Structure 1
């Protein structure tokens, strides 16, 4: 019995009592909280439902808790239900009901933990979207790990997820990029406010290889040549590094296309006609304060050129027209102001502001030997995705970047991530999986097959119970992580599961030794170990991290 199933039993039991007493069922919460108590001696699970609802129903909490205990304990899946304190209810599952979790994992395999919370939802998930003017830096690398993991989580809850990269290939930064390439091609210093680093020289050389006459072209044509080929080459490099990092996108959307296709002009005309834009001081303003923004925003400047938000509005309109009912933007912390303006833009177009969700992430720093790592081999001024991967590998990089809430700045300790020890979180989790895979290989060598009909009611050791209950929390963990957009919950769960397994393994022998014959308990423990291995593999997969069979 999973925690979710137990919560359903508690609610059903409470509803029965309410019906018998003629009480209003609306007092009962839709979701009943069932948690593991800090002290295992208090039971397998505990609920505070009686404290939540008793007084609202005109009942004494302890008396209602006792009634609840009497009804719940009649279930064959519950060994005992005891009232504690002012009205808490401590629950112990019957051994067979608890072991049922093991059977569920073995039956579901790679699908164990998946749910349907977002079934029927079409979600556009835009992340990374670094300017095609240089390699992806650490901030973009964090989004590559977290965004991809979030996409996997949402898909695991039934959503149809489209991963999208917005290419900022229009604007002044592209001009500066092209001018930097031209300067490098001519052997001149980097222009003021230009882009520096070895990669600029590499791209400039490749532009000349593809277009040998580029430097002899008229100035305007030369700038366009270096723009076109420079962005193409840089984007190819970005796509390659992201793919090697395990992050691939379904859509690469060009900002420039919004201008060339007329999409920008069309949406601005519509907003003017609807009155959502107004003219003041020769500029056009979005009435964003009417939709919760702190001020109205300039959309078309007094010189007639579009402000940056104009492209954002056209881009959002394009997403909504493609049928997405939720558009998630993953942006840097300096984009916090985008939350209100994008929601206001949706409302101005007659769409629900709830169709827009903006997540902002804090900075990432590298530390080695207790000191910050600041310089990149290729980029010169920033540390890049390739620098991090070269230092610790893809798995360690993805796991570490996904392990913390993006709300907090992150210092990545390179020395720790290089260690092959339990101090290194990704090693700790991967080693648990490898250890379990090794156990199954050893069992096969002794002709001990995994049995789906193993008697899991024999798994009564306290460490077995801890491991089973931890396994049972996986579906709820995934659902919560998707709901809160927090993949780090999965990483922390995996560490708790690895810890529960290591403690179990140290306390309970699995395979027979010497001439010992296997017993029903042997097969039950093999089933438990395979369930733990499967859940570790499932969780690592959702983070885009490998589950090695040997280490």
Structure 2
């Protein structure tokens, strides 16, 4: 765990308020209260409603309680130097310069670890995201899901959780049958002609199917043209599916996503785990038979209707495999919490999936689903339909040929996952302060430039004393320091609320406050102690920007 001066100040203030209450109102019970950072810090650095929530217990008006508490309060040895009553009985508290100095020093001391905490207490968490169908390339939804899932996993790791990133390969079921039939038709068409071989009505029409069939033909020639259909189809699947999965892996690595586990759905069927979960549900009295099929009593766990687990033909449904997969996550591999990042079109699946965990004797509340809304591409202020090689929806590869990876990862995390995202293609490639990722990277490059220019004049940063850091007293300096100090809390918030957009908003605000500081406060040309203090603040800001961009897996350039 690294420093968290916001939490330290809150704990101190909590102790100060409780001690003052015990002194001012001996023997009176004290109710819990809130300590928060006001939106407008000109009124105070922290505020509390302690006087208001304890009016009944203390038997006085809130303002009178606040006045009594402030009179009984001793700030000696703390970060606080003053307080006042506001409104109906709020108490506003002001931090002393030592808190600001300590906050800068903490960032410098912690370096690349600044922002880490033990909030998660090592809880074992899996984040499963993207899990694109391996029958074709990844599309825009996968691009957003990849950025959200990966950055959420980074935030959870920094917040003290033990995190596993997982990709679920849907390599079983109807879509693989359809995949095989599509490949078979394209392979046979190469030798017999398109008119001679009818393409399946529900087959995959993408150009990628033709490419895989041609690769297979180049490898095996017409060897399989006269083979039995089942043998031919299986050979095509055995070639094309691993190639597609490898393509997904390659595209995701280009997108800076690396998974700890690639989990095969097929392995669940082969190991017997899918039918085991049917037996487990049956043993618990959660199934019944109807029309030759095995049904799960989903309505007993909040679903709108019961679900088929095993069809009349003996083949388990996709839902059954999904239950077995989540059972594996919790019961077999022992994750304390599982987070699935799904498209918003899966919203109806959430309750029944959580309910199924309760039905098999697990805790459905430990399964969380982040539902992700659609992305609209915008160009020239209008919705834009981009189509390239496939003639269909834009793929992740297409997108990354058009815009930088840094911009893609940043933009996809600009809004909460459950908000529709308008992705401005023009803005993403713009090299101006209007482009938020460019704006943040420019702040980092500007700090590097300051250090480089001073080094050229023989001036280097040196360790600074607390007394020198106490010279950072302008409003611009204090605003920036306050923002740097909140990073650990912001990362905890992103992890707790499953909202990595908090990190992009935070780093944009940090860049804004740095530019404001830079324009108001000279570094070069000041007295040496103040110059070094401001250099220290520049370096602390650089660390914070680097750390946040690192969580987002976005580069922090030293020059632009």
Taking structure 1 as the reference length, the TM-score comes to 0.94
Secondary structure of 1:447's counterpart equals coil
Worse-superposed segment, 72-81 or 313-322: 72-81
SS of the aligned residue for 1:42 comes to coil
**What's the counterpart of residue 9 of structure 2?**
6
Q: Cα deviation per residue 1:253-310 (whole Å; 9 max; x = unaligned)?
A: 1111111111111221122122122223433222333333333322123333212210
Note the 1:332-481 alignment, pairs <5 A.
332-454=343-465, 455-481=468-494
Q: 1:253 aligns with which of 236, 254, 263?
A: 263
Which residue does 1:184 correspond to in 2? 186
In structure 2, the CA distance between the partners of 1:190 and 1:547, relative to structure 1 (3 Å rule), is farther
Residue from 297, 300, 306 that aligns with 1:290: 300
The residue aligned with 1:262 is 272
Partner residue of 2:528? Answer: 519
Stretches of structure 1 lacking an aligned partner (at least 5 in a row): none
**Mapping of 1:166-185 within 5 angstroms?**
166-185=168-187
Q: 1:156-305 to 2 correspondence within 5 Å?
A: 156-185=158-187, 186-187=189-190, 188=194, 190-212=199-221, 213-305=223-315
Shift of 1:73: 4.1
Q: Is the 8 A contact 1:9 1:72 kept in 2?
A: no
Change (3 A) 1:436 1:36: farther
1:15 to 15, 18, 25: 18
Aligned position for 1:488 = 501
| Higher deviation after alignment, 277-286 or 112-121 | 277-286
Match of 1:62 in 2: 63
The DSSP-based 3-state class of the residue aligned with 1:173 is helix
Task: Give me the CA root mean square deviation.
Answer: 1.9
Distance 1:49 1:482 in 2: 28
Distance 1:48 1:444, change over 3 A: farther
Which is worse superposed, 142-151 or 174-183?
A: 174-183
Secondary structure of the 2:470 match is: helix
Q: Which residue of 2 aligns with 1:546?
A: 555
* CA distance 1:68–1:107, change in 2 (3 Å): farther
Distance 1:537 1:79 in 2: 33
Alignment-derived partner of residue 81 in structure 1: 83
Specify whether residues 341 and 45 from structure 1 end up closer, same or farther in structure 2 by C-alpha distance, changes over 3 A only: same
Structure 1 CA distance, aligned partners of 2:333 and 2:50? 44
Gaps of 5+ in 2: none
Change in Cα spacing, 1:92 to 1:448, as seen in structure 2 (3 Å) is farther
Distance 1:169 1:400 in 2: 31
Which of the numbers 92, 97, 100 marks the counterpart of 2:99? 97
Paired position in structure 2 for 1:28: 32
Taking the aligned partners of 1:190 and 1:412, their CA distance within structure 2 comes to 36
Structure 1 distance, partners of 2:186, 2:280, is 44
Alpha-carbon distance in 2 for matches of 1:13, 1:293 = 50
* CA distance in 2: counterparts of 1:172 and 1:148, whole angstroms: 29
Q: Residue 142 of structure 1 is aligned with which of 136, 141, 144?
A: 144
What displacement does 1:56 show?
5.3
Q: Matches of 1:283 and 1:150 in 2, distance apart?
A: 40
Q: Give the stretch that moved more between structures: 489-498 or 59-68.
A: 59-68
> Residues 369 and 58 (structure 1 numbering): CA distance in 2 closer, same or farther, change over 3 Å?
same
Q: Distance in 1 between matches of 2:381 and 2:208?
A: 29
CA–CA separation in structure 2 for the residues paired with 1:378 and 1:49: 63
Structure 2 CA distance, aligned partners of 1:56 and 1:487?
41
Q: 1:404 to 1:56 in 2, by over 3 A?
A: farther
Where 1:284 maps in the other structure, the secondary structure is strand
Task: Report if aligned partners of 2:16, 2:75 keep a CA contact under 8 Å in 1.
Answer: no
Size of the aligned set, in residue pairs, is 543
Is the partner of 1:336 in helix, strand or coil? helix
1:530 and 2:539 correspond: yes
Alpha-carbon distance in 2 for matches of 1:230, 1:72: 73
* Counterpart residue number, 1:47: 48
CA contact (8 A) 2:28 2:57 kept: no
Measured in 1, the distance between the counterparts of 2:413 and 2:57 equals 42
Tell me, yes or no, if the aligned pair for 1:7 and 1:33 is still in contact at 8 Å: yes
* Alpha-carbon distance in 2 for matches of 1:240, 1:53: 60
CA distance in 1 between counterparts of 2:336 and 2:78 reads 43
Would you say the 8 A contact 2:339–2:367 is kept in 1? yes
CA–CA distance in 2 between the matches of 1:53 and 1:265?
Answer: 58
Counterpart for residue 125 of structure 2: 123
Task: Give how far 1:33 is off.
Answer: 3.0
> 1:17-67 CA deviation, whole Å, 9 max, x = no partner?
343322334x214xx4321432x4323333334334444554422223234
Q: Secondary structure at the match of 1:290?
A: helix
CA contact (8 A) 1:428 1:495 kept: yes
**Following the alignment from structure 1 to structure 2, what is the Cα–Cα distance between the partners of residues 157 and 273?**
40
- Residue 75 of structure 1 and its aligned partner are, at CA, apart by 4.7
